[in-house]
């Protein structure tokens, strides 16, 4: 296992288009997290899955955002009707059953640019 992988690494899209990102966590990790990181800021929590169940969503996750984790393996994050304010790095992380109080493993992120 090579760690958490995210695809694509970069995405440029026109305002109003829909985009979807994928995250493949470390295979034995049942917990998966999505974060958003804008320039000059630390990562901000978006949502959390334990296995296939989405257990927590941040208020940052507007109605245009949806995340899924079918079968408790990979996860997708979709943004509908993208806006310029959605431009950011989207980070995925996974952890084992003990959660983020031990160690979280992050992917390299998907950098989204909305033009």
Partner 1 sequence: AQTVTQSQPEMSVQEAETVTLSCTYDTSESDYYLFWYKQPPSRQMILVIRQEAYKQQNATENRFSVNFQKAAKSFSLKISDSQLGDAAMYFCALYQTGANNLFFGTGTRLTVIP
Residues that bind partner 1 (CB under 8 A): 3-4, 33, 35, 40-45, 48, 55-56, 91, 93, 99-109
Determine the 3-state secondary structure of 95 from DSSP. strand
CB–CB of 7/100 below 8 Å? no
Q: How far is the CB of 16 from partner 1 (least distance, A)?
A: 29
Q: How far is the CB of 81 from partner 1 (least distance, A)?
A: 26
The smaller minimum CB distance to partner 1, of residues 58 and 80, is found at: 58
Taking each continuous run of H as one helix and of E as one strand, the counts in the chain are 0, 11
For residues 14 and 108, give the distance between their C-alpha atoms in angstroms, rounded to a whole number.
Answer: 23
Q: How far is the CB of 95 from partner 1 (least distance, A)?
A: 10
The smaller minimum CB distance to partner 1, of residues 41 and 73, is found at: 41
The smaller minimum CB distance to partner 1, of residues 49 and 82, is found at: 49
Nearest to 103 by CA among 111, 112, 94: 94
């Amino acid at each position: 296992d090579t760690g958490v992988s995210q695809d694509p690494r970069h995405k440029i899209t026109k305002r109003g288009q829909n985009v979807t990102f994928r995250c493949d966590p470390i295979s034995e990790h049942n917990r998966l997290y999505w974060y958003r990181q804008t320039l000059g800021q630390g990562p901000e929590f978006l949502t959390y899955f334990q296995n296939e169940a989405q257990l927590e969503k941040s208020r940052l996750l507007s109605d245009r955002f949806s995340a899924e984790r079918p079968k408790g393996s990979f996860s997708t994050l979709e943004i509908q009707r993208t806006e310029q304010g959605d431009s950011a790095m989207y980070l995925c992380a996974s952890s084992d059953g003990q959660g983020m109080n031990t160690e979280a493993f992050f992917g390299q992120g998907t950098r989204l640019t909305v033009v």
